[in-house]
Structure formats: structure tokens, C-alpha cells
């Protein structure tokens, strides 16, 4: 039975319960402080009063030392600079200035007290150590100066996460936009990378695409298993497993990457990127910035020179060649600013910021278009230079009439023994050259097989810019050169208010908004979606974050957080809704049936193109792609300090509302027709196949019940944890924790989903039985230690082990793509690779896929399977490291980190198509309308299974020199090895596994185990900041 979903009441209930009763879970964006008060003899001083003051805001926190002289604060202190005071009758008041707390710190600040009057003050000038003496987790804090002053391409803060050991940019399918490597020019890098098809960009990664988006692999883990947090609230996009809001780097106070064995309060992934915004202070402060880039100093890529030479070799002057294939005229303009200050000093503060970008990243392109002659059936420009028989070293052969047939000769389908039915290579048919002495179709529009649809489609294309090219195509004999004028506009801003009701009660609220529009220009003005991904992309986000912190007493803290994040990712391809000025009724205009169906999702043009002789630039798209999510976050957080223990416990609720429609992954709402010259039913020329209504070699099509309405998916993630940081001795801290996570499969609001059972050969509906039984026993223990030793306590040995449960991103939620909600077909055709011999072409249009109930299951159905017994991906992390405080400002960290990920998501084909397993068949019994081909193999049945695994082992070294004497430096080196058997739904860089992510051999998964596409064997990275010793005060 279907689970009942009532999202809004759950949000309200969770908020009330969390506020009134429950301890809770927060993604910590704060820090804490611990220490010991001692006298000159080293004896502990109990009941000393400790006062901790935020220098920027004046906010204070007061506590006192326990009978053992130890004090500890809850995790309440914002990152910043603090003053710590310790006082007791009979002792002078001790003051430690300039204590810097970073996000997630548990800073040890020990305070010696001298005998004397309490009215006397002694300033302790020695700085605190950089050593992490209280926690076993590994990570890296990126501070404000690094964020604002290091060069940062695209103003993308995630690029700075690469400074941490074990963190790499993950080049994985559509989650990584190849424009980060080639500025959208497919001739540069993209086309040379195996496994990559998005060399000109992917909508899923369109936001901040020039710098790689948010695709990060941490300690060998997939980029879809990261957990993003912003100001302590959830910042994740639920479908693709990427980030929600990209914060303005200049507005960030700092952020931390937890790479290994984070505490139990952290979950939903193996790695956490935790970011905190700046706040206002008692002084007004602000900044402005501008970053510009142009092509003045850019060299022309060698590929541009090759294209110019191709033109020159075809008779074009060098000046004209340079005009036709210009150097990319890049224009990047990034600007913005921040401003903050007091509304009421020591009480209420504000902070605002803005980030704008106006970017133009055009690039030259080359492709093939129909010539003035070929588009009307005159193929005299397609010639075989040496008409020599194969046996004599040529490529021509004799047909059944004894006539020499060469690859460029167009075959007349009506000349076959059975008119229109061609044999292999058309050997029983005549060519037009044989019939008329010319490679021309005579009386084209008067023929019975003439396709007015194909004729009109070819006429949409512009004429070649290089009309003299022989045998033109869109690969190695291009005849059209142009410039793709890609543009990008970003407007983003934030407003944050902090208010202190008293020293015991504080609240902050923030609103963030970002609008990003990227136009990937169409190759041609009237052709639907010409050029990969042509269209208008959107990447808009909104976020609200509210937090209330209440200190009941110095040893008891409660914190409530609420978050709401809206993410909108999509593209209106050229023609969809009239985008790019292309007709939204292109199919109707051309007369193509079963394409434009009166909905937004089916507007524009059909996806079609061909391969081989006469090929030209593909056109069309799969239909509307638009993913919107509203993600709520409610938690309450309590901390209790007793003796040597700092305990924390909690509960967390993440309701998610996902509205998604993806016409392409639904089978192609307007259809997909692919032609192939030289295939059994081909004329030998792709354009001839269009003009003479020849069958396609591959077709697919899909329809969604309810027209183009998005699927409304709903789900609620739950989590709870307990954590105990136990200071066993002054030198030894033990971190103990236990976390529980529950990640249910999302349900469609109106039951528009189904599963497919391969064993029973049947569709399963939500009203019949549970589609997926989600595991609820996801308990994740965490244990770690930190031992401080040495003559001057200059060493820390740290280690830990923990289990993490995670979600994983998908291309499209599979259960919404099954009949009868979505009906899609996908098959090879016309005898090609054993496909059915169906006469599908542009004249007939794609097959009719109108959803019917009960559903039709046939050999060309496209079905999806999710195992009924769900398994949550599990990640085991462990580490062991040694930190050495080499001197006051220098620290060295040497460590080993390992991850063992199991039950990771991957896909494979259970049908007999491609490299499928071949176990999926249509139902048995007599032939019916819903079972037209009983007990026959189905070509495409994609299973989404949690069956993959990965192993990562890494040696990680880091040297830190904190800022002093005008200089700071960080250097890290990682030597690691990452092995897996799949990178999931989204294939990785250089991967050559089978269709749908593998496996190549579906009968033996172990054969897939090899070096991961995420493997980065050796990585060294360094950064530094130096204040030049010139100017006022230097």
C-alpha cells in the first residue's frame, strides 16, 4: 500500500515537537572552547569564572571551571576572534587575547592563574596551538582571507574545497560540465574524453559550470554522496545529488570540509561541506570586487588553425578563413560587494551582499548542412574519387545486375524486385546512377515514396558557408562554419539579520536569492535545437535559514533551526515554448505526426539525425526538462555538559517536494528518429533516406499520462543521533556517537508511479502493494580518539572509525518512467542489429505511445526496475593521523584515510539490448492488445540496484603556516588509490563500461572491478597569502 504523505503538517509538527521537547540535530556551523585553569604549581583551580567575548559583536558567554579545573562551552560560538577571561578570588584576572575560532573547532585554551588581587589583570600573550586535541575527524577549514583573496574562477566557492587533502573535482557525466575545460568548444578536450557526451555543457551542472559546479569527490566517494550545509541548514538538491545554493564567496566567513569520520551529528553522506555566512558587527564593514577576463592574451587553440587550413585547402582565402573561424571572444564580467554593521550596537546586526555576472563565452563551430543541390535530391556532389572494385583495392562492388556500386551512389528503393523493400546493401536494387547516368533523384516530388516532411526539414537549414566541399558531412567534411554566441547572467544576493535578546538568547535569519540564466545559442535561426543542448537554461535558487539559540545555563544549551531551500534547474531547448525564436509547432509545420501534442513538453521539433554518407547536424530535443524542488529542514539541538562529558543528542526532519519532468529520459516526448546510411534499408545517403521515406535504424518515443504535467514526488528523511565527547584525561579525548538515518523512496502525490517485476513479468502499482520496502535499521556508530603528548604537548595522535548512510543522485527517478504513467518505446529498427522490421520514419512520425491502462508490454517497451527490498548505501570511514606543532606558527599533519563504500547505486539492462542480461520477457499467454508479442525478449529494462562498491586508501600530508608576519601558507599532498565497479548512474571520466553504466559482462560483476574513474593517484596543491611590506603602516 502507498504510504500516506502529508508534508506541511509534518513540518509544523516537527517544528513544535523539536522546540518544546526533543533534542535535535544540526549541521554545526559554530565552534566551542575547552580548557583547564591551573595555578603556577600546575594544580587545578575549580570554580574559576570564565568569560568569553566575541571581539566583533561584544556578545559574551560565561561559565566556570569544574572541580577538576576544566571548563567547556557548548557548540555555540560563531567563528571569529574572541577574548577569554578567567578570574577567581585570590588570583589575578587572566586574559587571553586573539583566540581565533574556525567553523567546527573545539579549541583548547588553557589559562594559567597567578596569585594576586582579582582586580589585577595579566594578559596571556602566547597564542593557542593549531593542534586538534579534541576530535578525531579529519577535515580542512577554509578561512575568510583564503576565500576572498585567492584567485577563484567563476566565483565558485567549491573550488577552494580542493585545497583539502583527498578532495578532487569529479568529472562525472552530466554532473560535471565540460565547459569547465573547454569553454563550450567541443573541439577542445571534450571530444577526446571517453565516456563524456556533454562536451558543450549539461543542464544538470549549468550553475557555475565554467568552474566545475559542485562536483566534488572526497576520499574517493561519488560526488552524489556529499552533504552540503549552509549556516547550519540543509543545502542539498534531491534529484541529482548536488548543491542547493551557491553562496557568494565574498559573503562567506569560512567553510569546512569534513573528509573522514565526522561526529554523529553529521550525516546524509560520507563527506560534509559546511559553510557559514558573515554577520554584521559593531563596526561597519564592506567590500567591493570586480573580476574581468577577455581574449586579449588568449592564444588561439590549435584546432582553430586546423579548421582554417581546411577552408584554405578548399579555396578560401586566409583572411576569409580567419573571419569564418575566429578566435573565441570571451568576455567575463564578475562584480559585487558586501556590507554589514550594527542596527543596535551589541544587540542587532545586519549583513547584505550581491554577486553579479555578465559573461559571454562564444566559440566557433563547424558542422555539415544540406547543400543547395542535395536538399532537392541532387547528390552529384557526393562522389567516389576512385571507382575501383573492392578486389582491386577499391571500395566499390558489383550488385546483382553486375553494375558497379560505390559508397556515394544513391540507391532507388522503387527499383527493387519488391518496390520499397531493399536487401542487404541494396544489391538487388538499382542506383540512380545506373538508371539515369546521374547521381540525382529524378522527379523527386512526383515519386510515391517522396517525403514532404523530410524535404521541408532539409529546407530549414541554411546553405553552406563553404559550398565547394565534396562529400560534405558534419564530421570530417564540414561545409558550414559559424560562431555560437553563448551568454550567461547571474544575479544573487543575501540579507542576514542577527539579534541578541540577551546573553542567553540569540536568533538569526537569512534570505538568499539567486537567478542564473544561460543561453546556449542555436547553430541556425530556424532549426529546432541545432547544436548540443541549444536553448535557454535556468538555475534559480531561494533559501531561508532561521536559528534560535537559548542557553538555559552554561552547561545546558538548546538550539532550534529551520530551513527552506528551493532549487529550479531546467532548460527550454530551442523551440520548446518558442525558445530561441524557433516555432513551438515545428513538427506540425513540417507535417510530422505524433510529435507536437498540444503541451509545453512536446513543443518544438523532433530529435532526429543520421550517420554516414550525407549526415548533417542533428536537430531537435527530447522535450521539456525542468526540475523544481522545495526542501524543508527542521531540527532542535541540545547540549549538556557534565564533568568530563560533553553530550549532544537530537532528531532531524527533511521533508522534500520534488516536481520533475524530463522529456528526454521519458523516452523522448516528441520522438527520436535516427537514420544510418549504408544500413540494410538505406539508400546509401542519409539525406536520401529523409527524402525517400526510408525506415530509421533506431527509434524511441514516450508519452506521460496527464500530458506535460510534472511528476510530484514527496518524501521525508529522518535522522537522530547521540554524541559524547569524553575527556578521559587532560591528554586523551574519546569521541563516541551513534546515528540513525532513514531515507525513504519518494512517492508520487497522485500515485503516478509503478515498478516492474521481471519474475512475474508484470507492472506493480502503488494501490496493489508497496513498490519498495525501505530499510529502517540504518544505525551508524562512530568512535574516535585524540591523544595529546610530547614534552611541550606538541603532538596529537588521532584516529577514528565510523559508518555513514547516504543517498545517491539519479538521472531521473525510475519509478515515474514506467507504464501506464509513462509509456515509452525504444528499439533498433529495419533489421538493424536484429531489431523489428518496422517502417518508421519522418513521414510516419514516431510510434504512438499514448498511455493506456492496463499498460502495453511489448518487445520495444522501455521499462524500469527498482528492487522491492531496498538497501541504503553504506560508507565505512577510518583514519589515523599524527599532528606536530613544529613551532608557534607551523603545523604538520600526516595521516591515513580509508573508505569502504557498499550497496552503491548502479544500473544495468535486464533486457536483451546492448550488453543486457537478457532475462526480461513479455508476459506469456495469447496475443492481446496489451501483450502483442507474448513470451518475447524485451530490449530495454533498466534496473536501478544498490549492488556496487568502492575502496579508497590514501596517504595525506598537510603543512599549515598560520598567518603571522604578513604571511600564511598551506600545502597538501595526497597519494591514494581508488577502486570501484561503477560510478553509478552518471558515468565517469574515461569510463568505457557498458550501456547504462555497465556492466560490460552482466554475468560477472567482479570483472568490472578496476581503477575508478574518480582515482587521482597523486595530487599536490599549495596556496599562500603574502601582505606586501609596502604602504601605510607597513
Cβ atoms of residues 221 and 901 within 8 Å: yes
* Measured distance CA(295)–CA(202) in Å, rounded: 24
CA quadruple 171, 175, 176, 178: dihedral sign:
positive
* Measured distance CA(847)–CA(825) in Å, rounded: 8
CA-based nearest residue to 598, from 425, 827, 850: 850
CA-based nearest residue to 104, from 241, 219, 272: 272
Q: Residue 221 is placed in which grid cell?
A: 566517494
Residue 573 CB-half CA count within 13 A: 29
With 0-12 / 13-18 / 19 or more C-beta atoms within 10 angstroms meaning exposed / middle / buried, residue 956 is buried
Cβ atoms of residues 701 and 819 within 8 Å: no
pLDDT tens string 129-158: 688 888 999 988 888 788 888 888 888 899
Q: What integer is the mean pLDDT of 799-828?
A: 91
Backbone φ, ψ for residue 35 (5° rounding) = 175, 180
Q: Is the peptide bond before 999 cis (omega within 30 degrees of 0)?
A: yes
pLDDT at 19: 39
Which SS3 state, helix, strand or coil, does residue 371 take? coil
Beta bridge partners of residue 732, listed in sequence order: 729, 787
Residues 626-651 as b or e (16 or more Cβ within 10 Å = b):
bbbbbbbbbbbbbbbbeebebbbbbb
Whether pLDDT at 377 is above 50: yes
pLDDT at 1034: 67
pLDDT at 178: 63
* Measured distance CA(627)–CA(712) in Å, rounded: 10
Cβ atoms of residues 108 and 34 within 8 Å: yes
> How do beta strands 271-277 and 226-230 pair?
parallel
What pTM was estimated for this model as a whole?
A: 0.88
Whether pLDDT at 190 is above 50: no
Whether pLDDT at 783 is above 80: yes
pLDDT tens string 157-188: 999 999 999 999 988 877 776 666 655 444 44
Q: Is the peptide bond before 854 cis (omega within 30 degrees of 0)?
A: yes
C-alpha to C-alpha distances, 188 to 180, 193, 210, 1006, 1016, nearest whole angstrom: 11, 10, 14, 35, 22
Q: How confident is the model at residue 267 (pLDDT cuts 50, 70, 90)?
A: confident
Mean pLDDT of the chain: 87
Whether pLDDT at 327 is above 90: no
pLDDT at 192: 34
pLDDT tens string 49-89: 999 999 988 888 989 889 888 999 888 888 888 999 998 88
- Pick the range with the lowest mean pLDDT from 177-191, 258-272, 521-535, 608-622: 177-191
Q: Residue 923 is placed in which grid cell?
A: 508476459
pLDDT at 424: 60
- Of all residues in the chain, the percent with pLDDT exceeding 90 is 55
Q: How confident is the model at residue 657 (pLDDT cuts 50, 70, 90)?
A: very high
Strand positions, DSSP E, 325-423? 331-344, 348-360, 363-367, 397-398, 404-405
Q: Is 19 left (phi over 0), alpha (psi -120 to 50) or beta?
A: alpha
Domains of the chain, residue spans: 31-130
pLDDT at 385: 79
Q: How confident is the model at residue 12 (pLDDT cuts 50, 70, 90)?
A: very low
SS3 assignment for 822-840: EEEEEEECCCHHHCCCCCC
What's the first-to-final CA gap in the chain, in angstroms? 73
The residue ranking higher by pLDDT, 862 or 916, is 862
CATH code that applies to domain 31-130: 2.60.40.10
Whether pLDDT at 8 is above 60: no
pLDDT at 905: 92
Helix (H) or strand (E) holding 655: strand 645-662
Amino acid at each position: 500500500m502507498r504510504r500516506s504523505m502529508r508534508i506541511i503538517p509534518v513540518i509544523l509538527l516537527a517544528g513544535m515537537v523539536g522546540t518544546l521537547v526533543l533534542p535535535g540535530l544540526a549541521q554545526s556551523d559554530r565552534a566551542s572552547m575547552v580548557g583547564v585553569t591551573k595555578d603556577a604549581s600546575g594544580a587545578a583551580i575549580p570554580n574559576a569564572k570564565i568569560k568569553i567575548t566575541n571581539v566583533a559583536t561584544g556578545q559574551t558567554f560565561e561559565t566556570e571551571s569544574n572541580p577538576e579545573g576544566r571548563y567547556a562551552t557548548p557548540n555555540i560560538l560563531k567563528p571569529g576572534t574572541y577574548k577569554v577571561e578567567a578570574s577567581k578570588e585570590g588570583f589575578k584576572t587572566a586574559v587571553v587575547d586573539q583566540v581565533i575560532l574556525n567553523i567546527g573547532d573545539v579549541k583548547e585554551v588553557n589559562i594559567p592563574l597567578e596569585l594576586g588581587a582579582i582586580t589585577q589583570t595579566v594578559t596571556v600573550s602566547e597564542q593557542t596551538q593549531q593542534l586538534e586535541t579534541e576530535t578525531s575527524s579529519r577535515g580542512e577549514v577554509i578561512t575568510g582571507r583564503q576565500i576572498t583573496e585567492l584567485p577563484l574562477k567563476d566565483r565558485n566557492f567549491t573550488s577552494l574545497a580542493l585545497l583539502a587533502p583527498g578532495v578532487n573535482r569529479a568529472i562525472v557525466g552530466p554532473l560535471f560540465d565540460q565547459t569547465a575545460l573547454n569553454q563550450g568548444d567541443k573541439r577542445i578536450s571534450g571530444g577526446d574524453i571517453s565516456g563524456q557526451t556533454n562536451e558543450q555543457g549539461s543542464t544538470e551542472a549549468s550553475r557555475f559550470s565554467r568552474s566545475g559546479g559542485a562536483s566534488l569527490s572526497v576520499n574517493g566517494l561519488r560526488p552524489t554522496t556529499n552533504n552540503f550545509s549552509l549556516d547550519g541548514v540543509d543545502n542539498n538538491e534531491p534529484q541529482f545529488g548536488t548543491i542547493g545554493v551557491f553562496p557568494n564567496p565574498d559573503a562567506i566567513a569560512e567553510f569546512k570540509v569534513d573528509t573522514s569520520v565526522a561526529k554523529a551529528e553529521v550525516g546524509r553522506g560520507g563527506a560534509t561541506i559546511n559553510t557559514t555566512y558573515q554577520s554584521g558587527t559593531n563596526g561597519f564593514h564592506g567590500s567591493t570586487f570586480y573580476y574581468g577576463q577577455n581574449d586579449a592574451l588568449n592564444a588561439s587553440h590549435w584546432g582553430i588553425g586546423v579548421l582554417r587550413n581546411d577552408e584554405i585547402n578548399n579555396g578560401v582565402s586566409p583572411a576569409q578563413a580567419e573571419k569564418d573561424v575566429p578566435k573565441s571572444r570571451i568576455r567575463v564580467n564578475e562584480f559585487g560587494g558586501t556590507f554589514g554593521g550594527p542596527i543596535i550596537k551589541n544587540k542587532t546586526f545586519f549583513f547584505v551582499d550581491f554577486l553579479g555576472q555578465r559573461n559571454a563565452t562564444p566559440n566557433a563551430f563547424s558542422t555539415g548542412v544540406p547543400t543547395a543541390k542535395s536538399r532537392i535530391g541532387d547528390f552529384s556532389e557526393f562522389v567516389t574519387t576512385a571507382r575501383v572494385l573492392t578486389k582491386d583495392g577499391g571500395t566499390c562492388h558489383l550488385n546483382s545486375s553486375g553494375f558497379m556500386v560505390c559508397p556515394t551512389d544513391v540507391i532507388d528503393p522503387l527499383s527493387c524486385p519488391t518496390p520499397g523493400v531493399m536487401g542487404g546493401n541494396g544489391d538487388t536494387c538499382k542506383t540512380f546512377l545506373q538508371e539515369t547516368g546521374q547521381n540525382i533523384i529524378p522527379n523527386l516530388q512526383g515519386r510515391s515514396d517522396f517525403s514532404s516532411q523530410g524535404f521541408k526539414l532539409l529546407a530549414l537549414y541554411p546553405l553552406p558557408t563553404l559550398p565547394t566541399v565534396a562529400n560534405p558531412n558534419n564530421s570530417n567534411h564540414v561545409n558550414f562554419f559559424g560562431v555560437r554566441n553563448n551568454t550567461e547572467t547571474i544575479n544573487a544576493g543575501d540579507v542576514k539579520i542577527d539579534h541578541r535578546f540577551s546573553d542567553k538568547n540569540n536568533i538569526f535569519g537569512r534570505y538568499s536569492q539567486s537567478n542564473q540564466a544561460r543561453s546556449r545559442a542555436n547553430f541556425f535561426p530556424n532549426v529546432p535545437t541545432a547544436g548540443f543542448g541549444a536553448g535557454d537554461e535556468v538555475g534559480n535558487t531561494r533559501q531561508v535559514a532561521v536559528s534560535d539559540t537559548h542557553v538555559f545555563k552554561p552547561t545546558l544549551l538548546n538550539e532550534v533551526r529551520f530551513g527552506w531551500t528551493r532549487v529550479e534547474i531546467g532548460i527550454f531547448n530551442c523551440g520548446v515554448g518558442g525558445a530561441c525564436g524557433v516555432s513551438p509547432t515545428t513538427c506540425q509545420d513540417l507535417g510530422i505526426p505524433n510529435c507536437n501534442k498540444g503541451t509545453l513538453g512536446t513543443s518544438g521539433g523532433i530529435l532526429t539525425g543520421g550517420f554516414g554518407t550525407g549526415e548533417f547536424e542533428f536537430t531537435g530535443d527530447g522535450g521539456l526538462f525542468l526540475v523544481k524542488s522545495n526542501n524543508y529542514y527542521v531540527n532542535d539541538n541540545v547540549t549538556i555538559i557534565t564533568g568530563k562529558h560533553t553530550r549532544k543528542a537530537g532528531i532531524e526532519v527533511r521533508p522534500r517536494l520534488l516536481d520533475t519532468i524530463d522529456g528526454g529520459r521519458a523516452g523522448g516526448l516528441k520522438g527520436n528518429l535516427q537514420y544510418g546510411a549504408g544500413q540494410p534499408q538505406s539508400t546509401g545517403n542519409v539525406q536520401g533516406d529523409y527524402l525517400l521515406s526510408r525506415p530509421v535504424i533506431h527509434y524511441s518515443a514516450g508519452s506521460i499520462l496527464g500530458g506535460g504535467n510534472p511528476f510530484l514526488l514527496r518524501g521525508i528523511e529522518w535522522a537522530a543521533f547521540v554524541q559524547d565527547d569524553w575527556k578521559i584525561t587532560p591528554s586523551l579525548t574519546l569521541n563516541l556517537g551513534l546515528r540513525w538515518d532513514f531515507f525513504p523512496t519518494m512517492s508520487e502525490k497522485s500515485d503516478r508511479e509503478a515498478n516492474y517485476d521481471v519474475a512475474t513479468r508484470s507492472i506493480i502499482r502503488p494501490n496493489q502493494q508497496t513498490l519498495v520496502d525501505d530499510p529502517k535499521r540504518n544505525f551508524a556508530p562512530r568512535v574516535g580518539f585524540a591523544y595529546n603528548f610530547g614534552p611541550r604537548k606538541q603532538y596529537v595522535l588521532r584516529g577514528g572509525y565510523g559508518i555513514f548512510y547516504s543517498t545517491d543522485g539519479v538521472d531521473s527517478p525510475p519509478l515515474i518512467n514506467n507504464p501506464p504513467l509513462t509509456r515509452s518505446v525504444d528499439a533498433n529498427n529495419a533489421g538493424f542489429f536484429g531489431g523489428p522490421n518496422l517502417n518508421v520514419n519522418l513521414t510516419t512520425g514516431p510510434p504512438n505511445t499514448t498511455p493506456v491502462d492496463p499498460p502495453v508490454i511489448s518487445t520495444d517497451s522501455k521499462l524500469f526496475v527498482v528492487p522491492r527490498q531496498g538497501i541504503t548505501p553504506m560508507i565505512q570511514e577510518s583514519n589515523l593521523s599524527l599532528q606536530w606543532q613544529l613551532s608557534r606558527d607551523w603545523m604538520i599533519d600526516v595521516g591515513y584515510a580509508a573508505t569502504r563504500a557498499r550497496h552503491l547505486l548502479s544500473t544495468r539492462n535486464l533486457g536483451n539490448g546492448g550488453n543486457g542480461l537478457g532475462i526480461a520477457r513479455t508476459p506469456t499467454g495469447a496475443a492481446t492488445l496489451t501483450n502483442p508479442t507474448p513470451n518475447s525478449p524485451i530490449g530495454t529494462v533498466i534496473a536501478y540496484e544498490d549492488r556496487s562498491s568502492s575502496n579508497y586508501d590514501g596517504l595525506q600530508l598537510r603543512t599549515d603556516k598560520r598567518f603571522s608576519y604578513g604571511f600564511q601558507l598551506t600545502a597538501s599532498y595526497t597519494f591514494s588509490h581508488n577502486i570501484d565497479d561503477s560510478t553509478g548512474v552518471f558515468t565517469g571520466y574515461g569510463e568505457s563500461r557498458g550501456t547504462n553504466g555497465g556492466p560490460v559482462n552482466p554475468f560477472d560483476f567482479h570483472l568490472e572491478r578496476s581503477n575508478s574513474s574518480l582515482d587521482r593517484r597523486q595530487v599536490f596543491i599549495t596556496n599562500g597569502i603574502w601582505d606586501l611590506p609596502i604602504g601605510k603602516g607597513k
